[in-house]
Structure 1
Amino acid sequence: MDPAGVTLRAAVLCLVAWAGLAAGDRVYIHPFHLLVYSKSSCEQLEKSNAETLKEPTFAPAPIQAKTAPVDEEALRQQLVLAAERLGAEDKLRATTVGMLANFLGFRMYKMLGESGSAAGGAVLLSPTALFGTLASFYLGALDPTAHKLQALLGVPGEDRGCTSRLDGHKVLSALQAIQGLLVAQGGADGQARLLLSTVVGLFTDPGVRLKQPFVQGLALFAPVVLPRSLDLSTDPELAAEKMGRFMQAVTGWKMGSPTGVTADSTLQFNTHVHFRGKMKGFSLLPELQEFWVDNSTSVSVPMLSATGNFQHWSDAQNNFSVTRVPFGESACLLLVQPHCSSDLDRVEALAFQHDFSGWMKNLSPRAMRVTVPQLVLRGSYDLQDLLAQAKLPTLLGAKANLGRISAADIRVGKVENSVLFELQADDGEQPTEPAQQPGGPEASEVTLSSPFLFAVYERDSAALHFLGRVTNPLSVA
């Protein structure tokens, strides 16, 4: 059996479990019903397949061409509007894709942690960005590559019939809904708590023409898609530097240098994600605090703190605790703290698995003072490396059929996913020491001053937007 399909049955079982937790009292629908082509759309699909060679193409602008900077607030507003327009079926579709992304994200997160590529043991991954990148390639693929990508994304299609074929546009539309549901979190003051921006860079060799329907379709997942041409083969290191400077100039994000350029490639696909979460009620402590990297090494880092009622659960048997810090009504930050720092790897293996959402049932409110590092984390990895670990090294290799991306025989090089993750205090709040309320319950202390895990979770879509391991708040994943 193809390695992409080995875990397919497990994926379906996990999706059923997730659906029960995410959907609550809603009527259960087969998880893939809303993601495949309907009978009425199959005839149109066959027609479009016959006309694939006739699709309009364009030559990407040179990388040195002037490009307007990304307006992140405008992107947030677009996502909020998209979330407001969602119907019941759209939300069910978003939940299904959210669960699929979680399953794949857990699998790839484990591989990323085992790869040894994360500096200082830090790991940072966005399951939704990972899933969106692979779904983007699915949108541009023809069989047999499309069939293998569909299996990797977790949707059965063994009979290869039209009505069991994944609809890439529906998947990317669901990802847009997932993003919108996350950022549509505001306080009573109307202030935005969360910012999420996704930008895709499509870098091609000069002379490669891209198909317009493919690039236009990506806008559902990444509202900013930047096709640009440059010489990828003559000097790969120089090409990587040019791509890095271009993306930073357009976004303003300091992501670090790209992992490089594959010498014989004609297409590089770079997904860049920026997340900023403002933690309501948290203020910046006036002095730097110690964060213990290990038993003998500490670094001084800024810390955020708040006192209030937080959802909390302590697992005495497995020696770790979970604290839920709300961003809004349905979005939250989950902080996972081992009781002993040396147990981080063991706790991570327990925590980031497919019944993760079951923890929500164990959380209960408690008066607490929570202190957590102010984070500015950067993570980057080449998806091709993870595919190789998943025993799919040729999935996007030289023989991949990507006829919907370009009529040319393109060769995909690195497929880079980069994340900039920030946690901040509320704007305008001054550092204060919250007073204990007379007669109120004594607040217990939760201070994350040693390695910990975190996740950003959105309940309505059941999506885990970010998974991370912080071993040193000053290091890069």
Structure 2
Amino acid sequence: MFLRKMQLPIYLLLLVAWIPKAIFCQSDTTEQSPQANPGLAYDKIRSANSEFTGRLLKLLVSENPHKNVFFSPVSIATAFAMLSLGAKTATLTNLLEGLGFNLTELQEREIHEGFQDLVHLLNNTEGKVQLESGNGLFINDQLEPLQKFLDDVKNLYGAEVFAANFKDSEGAKKQINDYVNEKTHGKIPELIKDLDPRTLMVLINHIFFKGNWETSFNSTLTELQDFYVDKNTTVQVPMMMKSEKLYYHRDDELFSSMVVLPYEGNACLILALPDEGKLEQALDAIITKKGISHSRFLEKRKVDIYLPRISISTSYELEDLLPKIGITDVFTGNADLTGISTQFKLQISKVLHKAALEVSENGTVAAAVTDIEIQRNIAAPPVIVNFNRPFFMSLMDTNIHQDLFVGKIVDPTAKH
């Protein structure tokens, strides 16, 4: 029997510390499934995650037309998939379908097995890439969660569970912020500024990425240049530059020129520069095509690339936005979260997602830095790609062919 209605906030956090470098993470240009083990279970949910990424990117861009957009779709999807372990009846169906899953084709068990696989794949130290992800639950000492819920979040999502006293708002806030500060290596020292003493649970998902470019940008070539935010606004940015053989693709269907910059390890940064005046058309086309496939990049070209140095952070309160893409029930009084506890009537009151991004010249110099090539004089001249106007980016894990972070950079000088 329900005793009273309480609020259950979810806090989602993400951090990426980005140390730039260049290009394609995989020489094989065909689409490949993740390795049979691990990765096979995750492959079943990859398509839905990509579809969710597109819908959320379009929503955040439309809600922030003149601002930078940067977030981790994988972080948000994982947090809500974990929450669904405690959802029942129509709330469970709405939550999973809102994440893009077709429940006539995929069983709930397969979805959670896919995310269990993903949690494993997102903790990767192969090569020089540092990729860390995890989940934490802070549970009020008044709440008695069902043992099955606790077992599932631990076994399937590797969640750490902590007792918290939310009546002591300052103490609970410090406990959570200290956890966040540690998991983000000091990049997000204060996630929570205010905490409702009626809170019964805080669920946190975190993801951290740090990678070195395969070939660093030479800092001596960086110089201040104009960045055209819009027709009426120009800002000065430190523009990095290098000339290198990179995977390049001109895609008229996407109204964009695209370049792939690889990190040392299993990750790469895909940059899409829309044609002037075609920003919205490019976004719609990219979403319609369900992202930018590796299969579009068939060959390397000599590219002179100009990329601004970036240091930005973003913060989104998603409880009012996610209903616009179909996730509704958990935010209403009709929410059925009795899989968490039958002690109180629960609903989600807050979803906070924070992100930080740094892009610079720094990186480990690889042997490929000295590249002596002999070619005929009739070789094609370099392609010049100058990211001096708004552009899209995707940081992709090439083991699982999934966007870890996506965004639209409108003004590299805007810190927040």
What TM-score range do you get, normalising by the shorter chain?
0.7 to 0.9
Distance 1:139 1:169 in 2: 9
Is 1:133 aligned to residue 133 of structure 2? no
Q: Which amino acid aligns with 1:321?
A: S
Residue 110 of structure 1: which of 34, 39, 58 is its match?
58
Identity %: 19
Q: Give deviations 1:44-82, integer Å, cap 9, x for gaps.
A: xxxxxxxxxxxxxxxxxxxxxxxxxxxx9xxxxxxxxxx
> How much does 1:177 deviate?
4.1
Secondary structure of 2:316's match?
strand
Distance 2:189 2:156 in 1: 20
**Range 150-159 or range 89-98, more displaced:** 150-159
Residue 395 of structure 2: which of 456, 463, 472 is its match?
456
Question: What's the TM-score once normalised by structure 1's chain length?
Answer: 0.66
Other-structure match for 1:310: 246
Distance 2:151 2:355 in 1: 23
Distance 1:401 1:437 in 2: 64
Is 1:326 aligned to residue 262 of structure 2? yes
Conserved in 2, the CA contact under 8 Å of 1:129 and 1:273? Answer: yes
Q: Which amino acid aligns with 2:43?
A: T
Conserved in 1, the CA contact under 8 Å of 2:267 and 2:398? Answer: yes
> How much does 1:88 deviate?
1.6
Conserved in 2, the CA contact under 8 Å of 1:455 and 1:468? Answer: yes
Q: Which runs of 5+ in 2 are unaligned?
A: 1-16, 18-33
Distance 1:261 1:144 in 2: 29
Residue 420 of structure 1: which of 350, 356, 368 is its match?
356
Secondary structure of 1:404's match?
coil
Is 1:371 aligned to residue 306 of structure 2? yes
Is 1:273 aligned to residue 207 of structure 2? yes
> How much does 1:399 deviate?
3.2
Distance 1:221 1:378 in 2: 30
Conserved in 2, the CA contact under 8 Å of 1:175 and 1:221? Answer: no
Other-structure match for 1:172: 115
Secondary structure of 2:212's match?
strand
Is 1:338 aligned to residue 274 of structure 2? yes
> How much does 1:219 deviate?
5.0
Q: Give deviations 1:191-226, integer Å, cap 9, x for gaps.
A: x1x222334443444512344553454457765635
Conserved in 2, the CA contact under 8 Å of 1:240 and 1:260? Answer: no
Conserved in 2, the CA contact under 8 Å of 1:113 and 1:123? Answer: yes
Distance 1:197 1:169 in 2: 19
Structure 1 pair 90–241 and aligned structure 2 pair: CA distance change class (3 A): closer
Q: Which amino acid aligns with 2:388?
A: S
Structure 1 pair 146–357 and aligned structure 2 pair: CA distance change class (3 A): same
Secondary structure of 1:369's match?
strand
Q: Give deviations 1:85-122, integer Å, cap 9, x for gaps.
A: x9625423222222221111111221222223x7x421
Q: Give deviations 1:234-286, integer Å, cap 9, x for gaps.
A: 97xx7996577434543312276548656865333333322223211022523
Secondary structure of 1:408's match?
coil
Secondary structure of 2:102's match?
coil
Is 1:250 aligned to residue 182 of structure 2? yes
Residue 123 of structure 1: which of 69, 76, 82 is its match?
69
Structure 1 pair 393–371 and aligned structure 2 pair: CA distance change class (3 A): same
Distance 1:379 1:299 in 2: 19
Q: Give deviations 1:367-422, integer Å, cap 9, x for gaps.
A: 11223233333233233223321254333434322233334323432122333333
Distance 1:240 1:123 in 2: 30
Conserved in 2, the CA contact under 8 Å of 1:138 and 1:168? Answer: no
Distance 1:346 1:255 in 2: 38
Residue 339 of structure 2: which of 398, 404, 418 is its match?
404
Residue 323 of structure 2: which of 371, 388, 393 is its match?
388
CA RMSD of aligned residues (A): 3.8
Distance 2:235 2:292 in 1: 33
Structure 1 pair 221–259 and aligned structure 2 pair: CA distance change class (3 A): farther
Q: Which amino acid aligns with 2:208?
A: H
In terms of fraction of residues, the more helix-rich structure is 1
Conserved in 1, the CA contact under 8 Å of 2:61 and 2:69? Answer: yes
Residue 361 of structure 1: which of 289, 296, 300 is its match?
296
Structure 1 pair 459–136 and aligned structure 2 pair: CA distance change class (3 A): same
Structure 1 pair 244–293 and aligned structure 2 pair: CA distance change class (3 A): farther
Conserved in 2, the CA contact under 8 Å of 1:198 and 1:222? Answer: no
Structure 1 pair 89–231 and aligned structure 2 pair: CA distance change class (3 A): closer
Structure 1 pair 155–452 and aligned structure 2 pair: CA distance change class (3 A): closer
Conserved in 2, the CA contact under 8 Å of 1:198 and 1:223? Answer: no
Q: Which runs of 5+ in 1 are unaligned?
A: 1-71, 73-85, 187-191
Other-structure match for 2:411: 472
Distance 2:62 2:176 in 1: 26
Distance 2:243 2:45 in 1: 35
Conserved in 2, the CA contact under 8 Å of 1:278 and 1:327? Answer: yes
Conserved in 1, the CA contact under 8 Å of 2:213 and 2:364? Answer: no
Conserved in 1, the CA contact under 8 Å of 2:173 and 2:195? Answer: no
Q: Give deviations 1:343-380, integer Å, cap 9, x for gaps.
A: 22221222233443446335431011223233333233
Q: Which amino acid aligns with 1:283?
A: F
> How much does 1:464 deviate?
1.7
Q: Give deviations 1:422-477, integer Å, cap 9, x for gaps.
A: 334454559xx989866564433222122110012234423122211011123356
Distance 1:146 1:317 in 2: 37
Q: Which amino acid aligns with 2:118?
A: L
Structure 1 pair 156–429 and aligned structure 2 pair: CA distance change class (3 A): closer
> How much does 1:155 deviate?
3.4
In terms of fraction of residues, the more strand-rich structure is 2
Other-structure match for 1:36: none
